Amino acid sequence: MNISMDEAIVRRSLHDELVERLQRLIIEGELTPGEKVPEKELCERYNVSRTPMREALKVLASEGLVTLTPNRGSSVTAVTVEDLEEVFPVMGALEALSGELACEKITAAEIAAIGKFHHEMIGHYKAQRLPEYFAANEAIHTAILKAARNETLAAQHRMLSARVRRARYLANMTRERWDKAVAEHEEILAAIQVRDGRQLGAILKQHLRNKLETVSEWLRRDTQG
């Protein structure tokens, strides 16, 4: 009895749906860091009661995306330079691992797909289209992570990524740094194509270290300047 699940009705619990929506609101910046999460307002907006909303907020809090203060509700966690300096090394370790694992398990088709993203990205770079560049960039990193075939790894990475994605997106690179990032991406692609896991891991780690530089520099300027 092999029933195709393709058309199965996906019934999700409200809190689960809300976790996702709130995550999006935070990442896309509709809810900005430091801001109090307007519980009531969001409940009305999504037409749910406070119960599932509060469940969702608790989950987000455990992921570090919001901060709960006893008896005074939740606020979007503000990312400080210190946070970034904590998160990036951890993400670096995870990405390095993803590179190593990916090289063991990646298929030719997946390599080709990454190559395609890469060339798209280069195109956007040459045309100085930053948002499109970011999208292609993220596609590459996601593809590597997926090729690693480790859901735990992917989940951990997603979690940390969510915490800093907004800062990452907002910090716009200097021309110089952008050049460097692209150069690193050439190396990334090369390492994948020859399936050199050690090398890929190392580059990914370095790549992220440079990103940290960019982002924390921007954050420093933005928050105190």
Partner DNA sequence: TGACATAATTTTGAATGCAAAATTAAATAT
Partner DNA sequence: ATATTTAATTTTGCATTCAAAATTATGTCA
**Do the Cβ atoms of 145 and 98 come closer than 8 Å?**
yes
The piece of 66-74, 112-120, 179-187, 213-221 that touches a second copy (CB under 8 A) is 66-74
Q: 2 to 31, contacts with a second copy by CB under 8 A?
A: 11-13, 15, 19
What is the closest distance, in whole angstroms, from the C-beta atom of residue 19 to DNA in the complex? 11
Cα–Cα distance measured from residue 213 to residue 29, given in angstroms and rounded to the nearest whole number: 22
Cα–Cα distance measured from residue 78 to residue 219, given in angstroms and rounded to the nearest whole number: 11
Query: For 171, phi and psi rounded to 5 degrees?
Result: -65, 110
Partner from a second copy, DNA, none contacting 39, C-beta within 5 to 8 A by type: DNA
| Binding residue (CB under 7 A) for DNA from 3, 6, 10, 72 | 72
**Do the Cβ atoms of 40 and 2 come closer than 8 Å?**
no
The piece of 28-36, 111-119, 146-154, 188-196 that touches a second copy (CB under 8 A) is 146-154
Decide if residue 89 touches a second copy (CB under 8 A). Answer: yes
Site string for DNA, 11-50 (x = CB under 7 A): --xxx--------------------x--xx------xxxx
Cα–Cα distance measured from residue 217 to residue 94, given in angstroms and rounded to the nearest whole number: 23
Cα–Cα distance measured from residue 15 to residue 130, given in angstroms and rounded to the nearest whole number: 34
Which residues contribute to the site for DNA (CB under 7 A)? Answer: 13-15, 36, 39-40, 47-52, 54, 68-74
